[in-house]
Amino acid sequence: MLITKNIKMADVIHMNYFTLSALNRFGIELGFGDKSVEVVCKEYKVDPEFFLEIANTFVNKDYFPKKHLQTFSVKLITDYLQKTHHYYHKVKVPEIELLIENMVESCYTQKDNMVLLKKFFNDYKNELLNHTQREEEVVFPYTIAIENAFLNQNPDESILHMMETYSIDVFENEHDNIEEKLFDLKNIIIKYLPAPKDQRLCNKLLYELFNLEQDLNDHSRIEEKVLVPKIREMEKQIINNFTNR
């Protein structure tokens, strides 16, 4: 079932609690009583259309309105992606770190192995940080500059120089698979970490890892299927406009 703007925001969460993390990203706080999605979005100055599409992709795995998502502004899309980065670094990663730390603390029989896991995840954390930093410092500013030049009737020629040194194709090529190490970590815990270990903590940790992996997949899907084609189209238009001058 698709979420529409007239549904109560509370019902959205009842429908699928995964939407909680979407609310979190848009900065929407709980306690909205019986207000509809549209009303709550307006209160928080969130574009209701955009919120609905994102919330629906959270609820329904097969729902991905690529074309419609591409109609939203680059600013809106990159703002959302940036909020997602923030959510990883401030919420998800610390949660996982805490669980791993608990495992190290509570384990006496294989402390070495737990310390290894901790180091592995710490390296991963740095990799993720570099990955998102690169996007925020290089990729997103570039996409916004492209959008500005695209909307401007008479763009400055400097945009062409910018496009010579960087393009969305470069991003697509260098955009590495950040989920691979998470996959390995899951498998090590599921298949290879010897017993006895704290099953309860392991399960919690696995749940969080699956969750983060899924979220990262959704995140890169928006980058690769929405942002990249949208920018590529704009790049083409800009070049056309200059050649037709």
- Chain contacts with other proteins (rule: CB under 8 A): 112-113, 116-117, 120, 123, 173, 180-181, 183-185, 187-188, 191-194
| CB nearer other proteins, residue 13 or residue 117 | 117
Report d(CA 189, CA 197) in Å as an integer: 10
Q: State in angstroms the smallest separation of the CB of 169 from other proteins.
A: 10
| CB nearer other proteins, residue 191 or residue 245 | 191
Task: Give the pair of three-digit tokens for residue 3.
Answer: 């979420």
Q: State in angstroms the smallest separation of the CB of 194 from other proteins.
A: 7
Q: State in angstroms the smallest separation of the CB of 4 from other proteins.
A: 35
Q: State in angstroms the smallest separation of the CB of 91 from other proteins.
A: 24
Q: State in angstroms the smallest separation of the CB of 52 from other proteins.
A: 31
> CA torsion angle for 96, 12, 50, 128 (degrees, to 10)?
10
Q: State in angstroms the smallest separation of the CB of 124 from other proteins.
A: 8
Q: State in angstroms the smallest separation of the CB of 30 from other proteins.
A: 38
> CA torsion angle for 7, 72, 20, 28 (degrees, to 10)?
-80
For tokens 């070495």, the residue is 112
Q: How many CB atoms lie within 10 A of CB 150?
A: 19
